Chains A and B, each alone.
Chain A
Amino acid sequence: MARKLASEDLTPVAGGGLLHRRLFLKAGLVLATAQTATSLRAEEVAATTPRAKPEDPADPSWIHKPGLPFTGYGTPSKYEKHVVRNIGGNRTPQGDGVSWTPLEELEGIVTPSGLHFERHHDGVPDIDPAVHRLVIHGLVQRPLEFTVANLLRYPMRSRFLFIECGGNSNAGWHEEPIQRPAGSFHGLVSCSEWTGVPLSLLLDEAGVDPKASWVIAEGADAGLLNVSLPLSKLMDDAMVGLYQNGERVRPENGYPLRLIVPGWEGITNVKWLRRLHVTDAPAMTRNETAKYTELLPSGKARMFTFVMDAKSLITSPSPGQKMHGANVYEIRGLAWSGRGKISKVEVSADGGKSWAEAELQDPVMSQCFTRFRSPWAWDGKAALLKSRATDETGYVQPERDVLIKERGREGYFHYNAIVCWAVDEDGTISHVYA
């Protein structure tokens, strides 16, 4: 399939050397990728570590001896041990904090379950599924209690969905651009195949009173996290999530069951779900008043900002990685929207003066990560990389100055502005506001 590049293939379609998005599909050419920070470190170690006898790639030792035995549950290669969640934000008390998904180390659209971001308010509870119950009560004809074993017997459905913390990317509000790997800045978002029972089945079984309009969801963690959600959304597409990426939900993601609320901010996807109180008004809990609301310049604050608006991010090249000199590169990134499918991602190499449409990799699914790719002939000069997502409702990811003009700088939550990475002439990449 590979063929020689014709000169017209390398004709840019936008400033800074961005090429036609389908170039790689038709040309199959060999290209450079930005080197990850971790592989840079590995090379340094390899260069300085004396080795008795270097392995010959054509005849390495492992082709001459039996391999390791079978394992009950596989783990990543020991050479990938650096690909871990970045634990941050932990304060006193210890259980209140986050761990970030290393988005810059991952490919495709599914986040490995062990790398799904975490946000806990008081640690991960150790729940015995034989003891755990889900209770539905309030404005219902039949208050009900469900065992986990019984929930596993209901008809299920699966959806690939992102879950994003409402506080993801909040360093974007800072005066100075934060210098961290992309995942440690934007990695409070992950994407999984979630499988479970449509919540409408359980609510129908309980018989919801026509006067009901809200549901208070409560988790079984220390602190019994609670939030109020409109009944209409829960009846529409919410699930009681029992499986994540094919296996039972991990403890840190809500074992034995969590609420799945497609496209809505992370906190509404209540982990360790134990109680649904059907009612006619929100409870005005701490996490929907004091937190997860956004103070505007007017002094008023946005409340019940459930939907995660469209966002995109270039994961390669990104800060911490290094370019290999002038060459053709593949720009890689992720886009997602809580309002539906991503319809378009554009990339810019000149700080937003001109844009080229990126290729969206199949499958493109609603309220799910979409992987985008764009070929780029980097000329070795300073460049400013941006990506801009548009979703199927026509919503376009805003520039940072536009978002700040509308929201001010005290909102903390729901930062979804266009991200800019500066590529230096020496190939280093940093975060800039431009």
Chain B
Amino acid sequence: MSMLRCVAALMIAVSVASLAVAEEDTRVKGHIDGAHGSAAVEPAASANMRLGTPLTSDDIAKWDRTIFPDGRGLPPGRGSAKEGRVIYEQKCARCHGEHGEGGTSEELVSGPTPPSPDNPSKAIGSYWPYATTIFDFVRRSMPPAAPGSLSADETYAVTAYLLAANAIIPESAEMNAETLAAVRMPNRDGFIWIDVKK
């Protein structure tokens, strides 16, 4: 690291020299074929290397879309399985099957039982350890033709539909930031961390 910082300091001097060379190159090139314009050679970052621009909390709010298993990051909103079923049929069933049984894309619905050698299902009910993951993935990535197009309410509704279809929550349950974070998935403890310690 300290080596790199020394390099950074040296590069200031070097970049001044290379700037001159670059200008000369441009002249030569222009003379030969009439081409003009070349990238300006920016001075290297200083030893302090403060090229990042500070962000305000309002700026960060526009970027931050992380949702954690404990519910941190979940937006306001609500949705029910009944509402979600309608959205699912319109936007998801074509690839995932009419009832989440899978199609050109993976199956989503299985019983609420962890996987076993007889039933090595990786569908939501049997495999997914956290319900918040459904919300996060649907909101950022689905549907593939228009990711990010579902509102928070619609995303809660689709999440509720998928959880109810997997018999993890009752058909009548409403999902919101609080109730979704409280859902305990059947396979919560089904994972062994390998290359990082808990």
Tell me if chain B binds chain A: yes
- Residues of A that sit less than 8 Å from B by CB: 91-93, 95-96, 121-122, 135-137, 142-147, 149-155, 157, 198, 200-202, 204-206, 216, 218, 222-226, 230, 275, 277, 279, 281, 283-286, 289-290, 293, 295-297, 299-307, 408, 410
Task: Determine the chain B residues whose CB is within 8 A of the CB of A95 once the complex forms.
Answer: 144
Contact segment of B4-12, B79-87, B152-160 = B4-12
In the complex, number of A-B residue pairs with CB atoms less than 8 Å apart: 181
Q: Which of B1, B63, B94 contacts A200 (CB 8 A)?
A: B1
Q: Which of A91, A142, A204, A277 contacts B54 (CB 8 A)?
A: A142
Task: Determine the chain A residues whose CB is within 8 A of the CB of B104 once the complex forms.
Answer: 91-92
Tell me the nearest residue of chain B to A301, going by C-beta.
Answer: B191
Mask of B51-92 contacts with A, CB within 8 angstroms, 1/0: 111110001100111111110000000000000000000000
The 7 A-B residue pairs with the shortest CB-CB distance, nearest first, are: A144-B52, A223-B141, A93-B144, A286-B137, A303-B191, A150-B51, A143-B55
Q: Which of A293, A295, A303 contacts B120 (CB 8 A)?
A: A295
Q: Which of A146, A230, A286, A307 contacts B53 (CB 8 A)?
A: A146
- Contact B67 A122, beta carbon cutoff 8 Å: no
Task: Determine the chain B residues whose CB is within 8 A of the CB of A301 once the complex forms.
Answer: 115, 127, 190-192
Main secondary structure of the interface of B (DSSP, over half): loop
- Contact B133 A290, beta carbon cutoff 8 Å: yes
Distance in angstroms from B47 CB to nearest chain A CB is: 10
A92-B94, A92-B105, A283-B68 known; A222+B147 contact, CB < 8 A: yes
Bound Cα distance from A296 to B148, whole angstroms: 34
Bound Cα distance from A302 to B104, whole angstroms: 26
Mask of B166-198 contacts with A, CB within 8 angstroms, 1/0: 000000000000000000000000111111100
Q: Does B93 contact A (CB under 8 A)?
A: no
- Contact A410 B45, beta carbon cutoff 8 Å: no
Task: Determine the chain B residues whose CB is within 8 A of the CB of A297 once the complex forms.
Answer: 117
- Contact B192 A92, beta carbon cutoff 8 Å: no
Can you offer 17 A-B residue contacts whose CB atoms are under 8 A?
Answer: A93-B144, A144-B55, A147-B53, A155-B5, A201-B1, A202-B52, A205-B49, A222-B147, A223-B142, A275-B64, A283-B67, A284-B132, A284-B133, A295-B127, A300-B191, A301-B127, A303-B192
Task: Determine the chain B residues whose CB is within 8 A of the CB of A222 once the complex forms.
Answer: 141, 144, 147
Q: What is the interface size of chain B, counting residues whose CB is below 8 A from a CB of the partner?
A: 60
Q: Does B99 contact A (CB under 8 A)?
A: no
- Highest count of chain A CB atoms <10 Å: which of B65, B117, B141, B148: B141
Q: Does B31 contact A (CB under 8 A)?
A: no
Q: Does B161 contact A (CB under 8 A)?
A: no
Mask of B1-25 contacts with A, CB within 8 angstroms, 1/0: 1001101100100000000000000
A155-B44, A223-B140 known; A145+B68 contact, CB < 8 A: no
- Contact A289 B144, beta carbon cutoff 8 Å: no
Distance in angstroms from B54 CB to nearest chain A CB is: 6
Bound Cα distance from A201 to B6, whole angstroms: 13
Bound Cα distance from A195 to B35, whole angstroms: 29
